[in-house]
Amino acid sequence: MSQSLFCEQCGVALAADAHFCERCGAVSAPSAPAVTDVAASSSVMPRPSQPRRLIGGCVAVVVVIACVGVAAVGGFFAFQTTVKAPATPTPAIAATTPVAKLPATIAPVLSVTPAIAAAPPTIPPPMATTGAQPTYSAVTFSSAFDQSALVPINPGKTFPYGATIIYAYWTYSGVVPDTSFDYDWYRNGVHTESNGENFINSSGKSFQWRLHPNSPNAPKIPLDPGNYTFVLRVGGQVILSDTFVIQSPPDTIVVFFSIISDWPIGYVVDKQGIRHTPMGPILNFPVAPGDRIIIQTDQPRFSLLFDCGTSPQTFTPCDFVADSPARLPAEIRKNASGTAYLNISRADNWAGTRSNFPSQRYPADPVLRIGFGN
């Protein structure tokens, strides 16, 4: 009788030198059971036939290999998801060498595709503007303007004395609609006006105009002689700037006056285009024979006397009164040496009559008085 061993896990008979069960893979303990007769022992636990043992052994080997493969692959992916390391070679799968059964406390790891950490959202760099940059034409000055067709009339850079309005015209394109702009006017380098508007469209035509400062609502008074500059700014940056000239009439002196709160005010522009403002109620201004005097005002009514004193032949016309612009002469010309006085006051503010001039009266106070001497 030969010694036989039995698997403690599944009870199948084992060979005497077997180290594991060919059926379930359990480790075989080398213990020697009691010697019994084969015939007798078969009555207690019949030994399976050879084909069954062969099939069972194959199944056990496949199960072991599958478990080992699952564990190895799962461990590999688990390692990949937790540790950043260089690429690990794919582990070789064990061949047919039997492997001891894994302890019951270790569960096989499922093969799951490892999750890839999402990259933080990237902010694209700002793209360069491909649109056209704003462009502006040069300024065109003119003494008239067709506001329906937006076309300058009588354009130029030099205008004779007598122009009551000058237009500044330019075109633009590539501008963001509703962009604001500011503009300034200068006369002989002195700032005289500021204002601002908006570009309604991205491209188009635009214009502004210059009036006499004492005639802001209508072109009634000729612009003073001198050099005028127009400056256009966008966002504080100078975009356009140009200059035109109002010529002085030959040998002409311009007198301008107005009435503010019943007080007469005024100034004189000499033949070089320089303005002279009286520091008080009287301004003495030299005038040479051959000079001309032009009187301008923005008032519809006033009281004015031009008094030549005892030398009526020195000016033409001389010794006259006026109470409206229509009664002012086109000019006063000085003929010879002598002095005359221009007396101005508010409307219907007359005093006594002049001796030897029954139809003439002196303006009453307050009076602006300008003396034209030699």
Q: Which CATH architecture has domain 252-373?
A: Sandwich (2.60)
Provide the pLDDT for residue 151.
95
Q: Concatenated DSSP letters for 311-326?
A: -GGGEES-SEEESSGG
**Which candidate, 339, 184, 214, 319, places its Cα nearest to that of 275?**
214
The two tokens of residue 1 are 């009788």
* Residues, the chain: 374
Q: CB-side exposure of 29: number of CA atoms within 13 Å?
A: 6
160 closest CA partner among 140, 144, 146, 143: 143
Q: What is the residue-averaged pLDDT of the chain?
A: 76
C-alpha distances in Å from residue 27, one per residue of 17, 30, 56, 99, 181: 12, 10, 16, 10, 96
Mean pLDDT value across residues 192-207: 94
Q: Where in the chain is the domain with CATH 2.60.40?
A: 135-246, 252-373
Q: How big, in percent rounded to 5, are the helix, strand and coil portions of the chain?
A: 10, 40, 50
Predicted TM-score (pTM) of the model is 0.47
Percent of the chain with pLDDT over 90: 40
Using one digit for the tens of pLDDT, what is the confidence trace for 229-257?
999 999 999 999 999 999 877 778 989 89
Distance from C-alpha of 306 to C-alpha of 175, rounded to nearest angstrom:
56
Query: Which tens digits make up the pLDDT trace of 331-369?
Result: 899 999 899 999 999 999 999 888 888 888 999 999 999
Establish whether the linkage from the previous residue to 325 is cis, with ω within 30° of 0.
no
Q: Are 43 and 22 in contact (CB under 8 A)?
A: no
Q: Phi-psi category of 106—alpha, beta or left, where left has phi over 0 and alpha has psi -120 to 50?
A: beta
In this predicted structure, the answer to whether residue 52 has a pLDDT above a threshold of 60 is no
- Give residue 14's pLDDT band: very low, low, confident or very high (50, 70, 90): confident
Residue 27's pLDDT band, with cuts at 50, 70 and 90, is: low
pLDDT of 173 reads 95
Among residues 366, 328, 320, 371, the alpha carbon closest in space to that of 347 is found at 366
Task: Express each pLDDT in 95-140 by its tens digit.
Answer: 444 544 544 444 444 444 444 444 444 444 544 444 568 999 999 9
Token digits for 19? 């180290």
Mean pLDDT check: name the lowest of 156-160, 164-168, 198-202, 222-226: 222-226
Other C-beta atoms lying within 10 Å of the C-beta of residue 104: 6
Would you say 76 and 42 are in contact if contact means Cβ atoms under 8 Å apart?
no
Q: Pick the closest to residue 270 from 288, 257, 282, 258 (CA basis).
A: 288
- DSSP class of residue 327 equals G
CB distance 328 to 289 below 8 Å: no
User: What CATH number has the domain spanning 135-246?
Assistant: 2.60.40
